[in-house]
Structure 1
Amino acid sequence: MAAAAASTSNPSYIIEVGKDIQYPYPSHVIAPNFVTVKLNNKNEYELWNTQMLCLLSSHDMLSFIDGHFLRPSHGKGKAKEGDMKAWYRSDSLVKGWILGSLSKQAAMSVVNRLTCIHKKAEFTAKDVWDELQRSYATTGKTRLEDTLAAVIVEVEDYFSEAGLTPTDKITNNGNTALHVAVGSSINSHELLERMLEMTPAEIKLLDLKNSDGSTLLHVAAIVGNTKAVDILVRRDPELLLAKDNEGHTPLALSLSNVHSETSQCLVNHIKANKYDALFSGKSGEDHVVLAISSKDFRLAREMLHDIEPTHSDAVLMALAQYFPPELNYWERKEVACIAIYDEIDERIDSYRHVNRSCSSWVQMTIAYIQLGLVFIATVFELILKLIVRPFIEDKFQIHNEAINLFRSVCRRFHSNRFYTKPIFEATRQNACEVVTNIVYRFPDAIWITNEDGHNFIQYSVINRSEKIYSLLYQMSEHKNIYKTIKDSSGNNLLHLAARLAPTDRLKLLSGAALQIQRELQWFKEVEGFLCPLNRMQKNSDDETPQMVFTREHKDLVIEGEKWIKSTAESYTITAALITTIVFAAAITVPGGNNQESGIPIFTNKPAFVIFALSDAVSLFTSVTSLLMFLSILTTRFAEQDFLFKLPKRLIIGLTMLFISTTAMIIAFGATLFLVFGQENLWMLIPIGALTCLPITSFVTLQFPLITDLISATYGRSIFVKKKYGRYFY
C-alpha cells in the first residue's frame, strides 16, 4: 500500500516508495512541539486528543490508529520482510509519540494493561490509542460500550491464544465459559451472543451442563437474566424442558428465586413452543405452588388456566400458607378516584329533601351549613384516599390477584376431601378470607374435622386464630352447637382455650406479662360464650377448664411475675430520684430568697412561674408513679391480676413517670433561663433544643411499652363480634 506524497516544503518528511518500503516515516519530528499536554485525567483528554490528531494528520500517520495500516501478515519472501520492517518502524514511531505524551502514571497503566493482554509487549499504536480512548474518552461511544468491546476482544484473544472454546469447562464445578457469561451478563448481552457465535454449530446447548446438571438456561433462571433466556431459547427451545440433578426445570428455579419477569418470559416461551408437558400433572401443579410461594399470584393464575385439573390439594394448601394479610380500613376503601363526583353528588342529594321541607330561613341556613360540612368531609376523605393510594396500591393489587386465584382454584374442586387440609392450614395461619371463601364455596366444610377430631372453630381456639373464631358471631343460631361440642378427650371449647398457646403466637407479644394477659383474654372470651354449666365441666382427665389453665400457664405466670417485678423495680428507682431532685429544687428556689421577707427574688419573672408549676407537677406525678410501682411490687401476682389490675397500675405508673420527667426537664430549663438568660430571649433556642432531647429519647424508648399496654388492656378487642352475615342456616 503506497503512501501519499509529502509536501516538498517539509524536509523532515521522508517517503521511500519501493518494493521493500511502503509506509511513511517522518524522521525529524519533535512531538512535544505539537502535543504540549501530558495526559493524566479525563479532563485533559479532549485537548490532548486534538493535539495528537493534528500531529498524526500533518504527517500522514492517522492510518496507524484508525485501522487502515494494519500489521502485515508474516510471509517468507524478502518483500514481505521489508514490508514488516517498514510497518514496525512507523508504528513504533507513532506508539512512541503517544506514550511520550502521557504522564508517568498514565503511561504505566496503559503499558501494564496491554502487556497483560498481548504477549511480549507486542501491542500496536492502535492498541494504545484504543486503550486511552476507553479509559479517558467521554464522547462518542459510551464508556460501557467501549469497555464491553474491549472485554469481547480480550475474550476472543484469550480463547485464540489458549486454544479454548466457549464450551470448555473452566471452573471446579464444571461451568463452561458460556455458563459464566450467562451468569454475569445481566446488563449487557453482546458478550454472550458473541460467545454463542464462536460455539460450533454441531454442539447442542442442551448438552452443556455443570456438575449440578444445570444447563445455560438453568443459570439464566437462577440469576434472573431475562435477556439471556430469550437468546438461549431462540437457539435451542428444548432447554425449556431440561432438568438438573434435583429434577428442577428452569421455570421452577426462576420461580423459587422470585424472578417474576424471568418467570413470565419462560412461561411465554413454553406456550409459544407448545411444551404442554410442563403444565400437566404434578409438574404443572408444582410450578403453580412455586409461583404462589413467591407471591406472584397473577402468574400462578395464568399457569392454572393451562394445567389440567389435578387430584391434589397442594395448590389450595399453598394459598392457605401464603395468602396475603387482610386489608385494613384504608386499604379496603376505594383507591381509585373515578367515583369522586358521584360520591359527592350522592351525599348532596341526601340533603335536598331537607331543603324542601325547611319552612324558615333559620332552618334553611342550618341545612346549608350541614350540606357544606358534608361536602368538606367528603372532599377531605377523598383527598386522603388519593394520598394513601400510592402506599397501598401494590398491596391492594396483590390482594385482589390472590382472591381471583383462590376463586379460580375453588372452581376446579367439587369434593370436600380437597378442602380438609387447606381449611385447617388457613385456620392456623389466621387467614380469614381463605376460610370464608371455602365455606361459601363448600358449606359442609364447617363440619370437617382433622385427625384429632377438631373442626375449624375448635382448631382456631387451639391456635389462637381470633379472626377465624370471630366467625362464630356471623353464624345463625347453629353456633349454639359449639357451646356443648367436645372432642375425643372430653374437652369443650373452654378446655381448648385453657391450653397454652403455640409458641409462634405467644411471640407476637413482647413481655411475659402481656402474653399471659392475652391468654386470659382468650379464656374470658370463650368463657363468656359458653353456658355457665359448661364452664365447670370436666374432661377425660377429670380437670375443669380453670384447672387446665392453671397447669398449662404455671411457668408463664412465673415469667410474667419476674418481668413485671424487674420493670417496676427499675422505674421505682427512677421515680425516687426524680422525687428527691424536684423536692430539693422546691425548697431551694433559683436565685434564692429575700433576706428580709423570705420571698423568692424572681417571684415576678414569668420563667419563675413556669419553674414553680413544672416543679410541682413533677413532684406530685413522681410520687404517684413511685406509689404505683411499689403497689406492683407488693401485690400477690395471681393469674387474674394480669388481666387488668397489674397492667392498669403499670400504665398509670409509666404515664406519671413520663409526665414527671417532662415537667422536671422543663423546670430545669426555666432555671437555666432565670440564672443565665439575663433577659436574652435568644437563650430560649438552645435551652429549648436541649430540653427536647431527653423528652424525645424517653418517648422513643419507653412510649412503645405504654402504647402496647394501653392497647392490650383498653384498646379494641381482637374479637370482632359484629354480625355481617350468615354462613349457614
Structure 2
Amino acid sequence: MHQAALKGDWKSAKQMEMMHPGALTMVISERSETALHIATRVKRAVFVEKLVERLDEHDLASKNKYGNTALCIAAASGAVDIAKLLVLKYKALTLIRGSGNATPVLIAARYKHKDMVSYLLSKTPVYGLASQEQMELLLGAISADYYDIALLILEWNMSLTLQRDFNNETPLHIMARKSGAIGKKNKPTKWESCINKWLFKHIYKKKMMQIQAYKMVELMWSVVLNVIPENKVSDFMMNPSSMLHEAARVGNVEFLKVLTNEYPDLAWNVDGGRKSIFHVAVENRQASVFSLIYEMGEFLDYLPYYFDEENMSLLELAAQMPDPSHLNRISGAAFQMHRELLWFKQVEKIVELTMRRKKGKRSPRELFTQQHKGLVEDGEKWMKKTANSCMLVATLITTVVFAAIFTVPGGYTNTTTTSTTGSVIENNNNTGTPLFLYHKWFTVFVISDATALISSSTAILLFLSILTSRCAEEDFLLWLPLKLVFGLGTLFLSVVTMVLAFSATFFLFYGKDTAWVPLLVAGMAIVPVYCFGVLQFRLWADTIAALRATYFLYFRNSKPILF
C-alpha cells in the first residue's frame, strides 16, 4: 500500500483493500501516516481523489506522528488541487490544527504558498483563528508581499493595525521599510490593463499588488487616526522607532505621502537624533523623499534652521560622504562623484547663503571637498581609464578605414602611356579611374568609409581631451559626462559605418546569382554592432542620465532629478 500511494497506483491499492479490508485507512509508515498522508505528500491528486471518496470525516482528520492532517501536508506543499478535494469532503478540516498548533492557512503562509493561502482563507471562518494567529498571518502575507491577502485579513479585523509583534512593531512599522512595495493609488486604464495582461503579465501583477499595498497602508492609517487620540499619534509612530524616518531611510515615498497627506504636521517630527525626514533623506541619498520638500512650501522657510544633535545642518549633511551602500547605487566613480555634486548643489539652492552655517572653521563647500577627495581621485582614474580604452578602439578603426579608402574594391582601370612612335612606354593599374566608380554600392562604400574616418577621428580627439583634463570637482558635473557621451556616440557611429563599408564591398563583388553571400556576410557583420551597442548601453545610459540631471539643475526650475 505504501508503494501504491507513492506511485499513485490506485488499481493496486484497490486490490489490496479488497484483499485486506481497512488497508486504505491503516497506518503504514514510521511517521504514523496513512495512504492519504503519503499520497498527499507526493502530490498524487488522482489517487487522492479516488481515495477521498471512500473515506469518512474521521479518516480525513487523522494525524501523523507530527500532528499534521493531510490538509496540513497539502498546505505545506502548496498542492491546491488536493486541498480542494479534502475541504470539499470535510469543511471543518480548515480549523483542525497541525504541528505547532497551527491552522492549515497559517502553515501555507509560513511556506509562502500564495494560491494555497488565498484558497484556505476563503474557506476558513474568521472565528476559527485566534487574534495572535490572525496577526501572524497578516505579517506573513506582508513579508511575502501578498498585499491582496494582507488587505483581506485587515478588512476582517482592522484592530490588527494596532497590535504589535515580538519586536514591538505594528504592521505600519513593517510597511514603512518595504521600499518599492507601495505604488500609486490610481489603477491602470482599461487599455493599459489589457496591454499589460497580455504582454507584461509580471509588471501588471506587480502594479496591482502595489495598489493593494497602498490601500492597505491607507486603511491602517485611517484606523490609527480614528482610534488613537491626536496627542498620542506621535508616540504610536515613534515606538519602538520612528516609522516616518524608517520610510525616509529606505526611500518609501508613497508611504510618507499617505501619512503626511492626512497629517501634514508629521513632516515636522524629528527622531532621536533631532533629524527631520528630509535630513534623513539627504543623509541616505533618497531623492524621491527629498522631492517631497517641494510639495511642502512652508517647510522651505524653516528647514535651514533645523540642526541635528551634532549641530549639522542640511547642507553639511549633503557635504558628508554617504555610506558606501548608498554610493554604490550608481556604477562608476565618475558618476558617483557627479551625483554627489548634484546633491550638494540641489540642497545649496534650497538653503539660503545666509543660512550656510559653518562647522568649526570649515564651510559646507570645504567640508564637501575634504569628504570627497578620494572619490574625485577614483572618478578621475575611472574616467581616464575608460577614455583610454575607447580611444584605442577609435585609433584602430581610424587606421583601418584610412587605408581602405586608398585600396578601393576592384582596383582601377588601366592607364597606358605611349611614345610618339606609338610604342607602349608604361602600363599602370593604380592611376586610373576606380573600376566600380559608378556602382551604387561603391558610393555606399566611399560615404561609409569617410564617415567612419571622420567619426573615429572625432572620437579620438574627445577621448584625448578627457585624458588631458584636470578632472576638477566641477568638471564631473557637466564637461566630463558631455565629452564621454559624444565620444561614445561618435565611436559607435564609426563602428556602424565601418561595418557598412565592409558589407558594401561584398555587394560589389557578387552578382545576382550569388546574392546570398553578401547577405550572409552583412547579417554576420551586424553582430559586432549589436555587441557594442548592448555592452556599452549601460555606460551610455548612465552618461545621458547624468547630463539630464545637470540640465534640470541649471536650466529648469523644477524638482531635482537625481538619477
| Equivalent of residue 188 in structure 1, options 46, 50, 63 | 46
- Aligned mates of 1:696, 1:191 — CA distance in 2: 54
Tell me which residue corresponds to 2:541.
707
C-alpha distance 263-387 of structure 1, shift in aligned 2 (>3 A): closer
C-alpha distance 576-183 of structure 1, shift in aligned 2 (>3 A): same
Tell me which residue corresponds to 2:128.
275
Q: Can you list the C-alpha shifts for 1:30-49, whole angstroms capped at 9, x where unaligned?
A: xxxxxxxxxxxxxxxxxxxx
Tell me which residue corresponds to 2:322.
501
Tell me which residue corresponds to 1:205.
62
- Aligned mates of 1:422, 1:180 — CA distance in 2: 47
- Find out whether 1:314 has 2:125 as its counterpart: no
What SS does the aligned partner of 1:710 have?
A: helix
Mapping of residues 153-192 of structure 1, within 5 Å? 153=14, 166-167=26-27, 169-170=29-30, 178-185=36-43, 187-188=45-46, 190=48
| Equivalent of residue 114 in structure 2, options 246, 260, 263 | 260
| Equivalent of residue 406 in structure 1, options 211, 214, 217 | 217
Q: Can you list the C-alpha shifts for 1:428-460, whole angstroms capped at 9, x where unaligned?
A: 232222101101222331122222221111111
- Aligned mates of 2:57, 2:27 — CA distance in 1: 7
- Aligned mates of 2:282, 2:12 — CA distance in 1: 64
Tell me which residue corresponds to 1:49.
none
Tell me which residue corresponds to 1:575.
394
Q: Can you list the C-alpha shifts for 1:579-635, whole angstroms capped at 9, x where unaligned?
A: 111111122222334454544333222222222211111111111111222222222
Deviation at 1:488, TM superposition (A): 0.9
C-alpha distance 178-501 of structure 1, shift in aligned 2 (>3 A): farther
| Equivalent of residue 549 in structure 1, options 353, 362, 368 | 368
More RCO (CA 8 Å, sep 6+): 2
What SS does the aligned partner of 1:587 have?
A: coil
Tell me which residue corresponds to 1:419.
237
C-alpha distance 186-394 of structure 1, shift in aligned 2 (>3 A): farther
Q: Can you list the C-alpha shifts for 1:245-300, whole angstroms capped at 9, x where unaligned?
A: 5x75533331233323321333234317x3242xx2x4322221211222222221
- Aligned mates of 1:300, 1:651 — CA distance in 2: 47
What SS does the aligned partner of 1:188 have?
A: helix
Letter in 1 for 2:149: L
- Aligned mates of 1:226, 1:550 — CA distance in 2: 61
Letter in 1 for 2:252: A
| Equivalent of residue 512 in structure 1, options 329, 333, 336 | 333
Tell me which residue corresponds to 1:251.
105
Tell me which residue corresponds to 2:446.
612
Q: Report if the CA contact (8 A) 2:193-2:204 is conserved.
A: no
- Aligned mates of 2:20, 2:321 — CA distance in 1: 67
- Aligned mates of 2:549, 2:325 — CA distance in 1: 22
Tell me which residue corresponds to 1:291.
141
Tell me which residue corresponds to 2:190.
336
C-alpha distance 264-683 of structure 1, shift in aligned 2 (>3 A): closer
C-alpha distance 641-256 of structure 1, shift in aligned 2 (>3 A): farther
Q: Report if the CA contact (8 A) 2:75-2:83 is conserved.
A: yes
Deviation at 1:531, TM superposition (A): 1.0
Q: Report if the CA contact (8 A) 1:473-1:721 is conserved.
A: no
- Aligned mates of 1:175, 1:527 — CA distance in 2: 71
Deviation at 1:553, TM superposition (A): 3.3
- Aligned mates of 1:410, 1:595 — CA distance in 2: 90
Deviation at 1:721, TM superposition (A): 7.0
Aligned residues: 520
C-alpha distance 629-155 of structure 1, shift in aligned 2 (>3 A): farther
Letter in 2 for 1:318: I
Letter in 2 for 1:409: M
C-alpha distance 649-332 of structure 1, shift in aligned 2 (>3 A): farther
- Find out whether 1:521 has 2:374 as its counterpart: no
What SS does the aligned partner of 1:305 have?
A: helix
- Aligned mates of 2:72, 2:401 — CA distance in 1: 71
Tell me which residue corresponds to 1:25.
none
Tell me which residue corresponds to 1:240.
95
- Aligned mates of 1:674, 1:483 — CA distance in 2: 71
Mapping of residues 542-691 of structure 1, within 5 Å? 543-594=362-413, 596=415, 598-677=432-511, 684-691=518-525
C-alpha distance 265-617 of structure 1, shift in aligned 2 (>3 A): closer
TM-score scaled by structure 1?
0.63
Q: Report if the CA contact (8 A) 1:512-1:559 is conserved.
A: yes
Q: Report if the CA contact (8 A) 1:185-1:191 is conserved.
A: no
Tell me which residue corresponds to 2:421.
none
C-alpha distance 157-503 of structure 1, shift in aligned 2 (>3 A): farther
Q: Decide which structure has the larger Cα Rg and report it.
A: 1
- Aligned mates of 1:639, 1:157 — CA distance in 2: 88
Tell me which residue corresponds to 1:454.
275
Q: Report if the CA contact (8 A) 1:178-1:192 is conserved.
A: no
Mapping of residues 34-433 of structure 1, within 5 Å? 148-150=9-11, 152-153=13-14, 166-167=26-27, 169-170=29-30, 178-185=36-43, 187-188=45-46, 190=48, 193=51, 197=55, 205=62, 208-210=64-66, 216-229=70-83, 237=92, 240=95, 242=97, 244-245=99-100, 249-271=103-125, 274-277=127-130, 280=131, 282-307=132-157, 308-309=159-160, 310-312=162-164, 313-322=169-178, 324=180, 335-336=189-190, 387-388=195-196, 390=198, 391=200, 393-413=204-224, 414=228, 415-420=233-238, 421-433=242-254
